Amino acid sequence: MKNIDLHTHSRASDGTLSPTELVEYAAQKRLAAIALTDHDTLDGIKEAKAAGERFGIRVISGAEFSAVYENISLHIIGLFLPEDSAEINERLAYLKNARLTRNEKMLKNLAEEGIDITMEELKTAFPDRIISRAHMAQLMQQKGYVGSKNEAFDRYIGDRCRAYVHKESLTPQETIRLIKNAGGVAVWAHPLLCKLSDKNLKKMTGILKGYGLDAIEAYYSSHTPSDTKYVKTIAQQYGLKLSGGSDFHGSIKPGLDLGTGYGKLEVPYEVLERLEMR
Least distance (Å) from ligand AMP to the CB of residue 156?
11
Can you tell me the distance from the alpha carbon of 143 to that of 154, in angstroms, rounded to the nearest whole number? 17
> In this chain, which of 5, 14, 40, 43 binds Mn ion, going by CB under 5 A?
14
**Which of 192, 168, 191, 189 has the alpha carbon at shortest distance from 179?**
189
For ligand AMP, give the closer residue by CB, 82 or 158. Answer: 158
Least distance (Å) from ligand AMP to the CB of residue 171?
17
Point out which span in 48-56, 197-205, 223-231, 244-252 binds Mn ion (CB under 5 A): 244-252
Give the residue closest to Mn ion by C-beta.
75
CA atoms within 13 A on the CB side of 112: 10
Asked if 40 interacts with Mn ion (CB under 5 A), we say no
> In this chain, which of 124, 148, 150, 200 binds ligand AMP, going by CB under 6 A?
150
Asked if 153 interacts with ligand AMP (CB under 6 A), we say yes
Can you tell me the distance from the alpha carbon of 92 to that of 95, in angstroms, rounded to the nearest whole number? 5
> In this chain, which of 11, 75, 241, 253 binds Mn ion, going by CB under 5 A?
75
Asked if 247 interacts with Mn ion (CB under 5 A), we say yes
Least distance (Å) from Mn ion to the CB of residue 215?
15
Angle at CA of residue 13, ends 9 and 16, nearest 5°: 60
**Cβ–Cβ < 8 Å for 176, 76:** yes
Beta-bridge partners for 4: 33, 267
Q: Beta strands 72-79 and 185-189: pairing type? A: antiparallel
Point out which span in 10-18, 157-165, 220-228, 254-262 binds Mn ion (CB under 5 A): 10-18
> In this chain, which of 7, 91, 149, 241 binds ligand AMP, going by CB under 6 A?
149
* Partner in contact with 75, chosen from Mn ion, ligand AMP, none, beta carbon below 5 to 8 Å by kind: Mn ion
Least distance (Å) from ligand AMP to the CB of residue 149?
6
**Cβ–Cβ < 8 Å for 232, 238:** no
DSSP state of 10: -
For ligand AMP, give the closer residue by CB, 132 or 243. Answer: 132
- Say how far residue 39 (Cα) sits from the centre of its chain: 5
* Partner in contact with 150, chosen from ligand AMP, Mn ion, none, beta carbon below 5 to 8 Å by kind: ligand AMP
**Cβ–Cβ < 8 Å for 135, 153:** no
Residues 6+ apart with CB under 8 A from 198: none
DSSP per-residue letters across 149-183: HHHHIIIIISTTSTT------B-HHHHHHHHHHTT
Near Mn ion in 135-154, by CB under 5 A: none
For ligand AMP, give the closer residue by CB, 153 or 220. Answer: 153
Question: Applying CB under 6 A, which residues contact ligand AMP?
Answer: 14, 132-134, 149-150, 153, 158, 167
**Which positions lie near Mn ion, rule CB under 5 A?**
14, 64, 75, 247
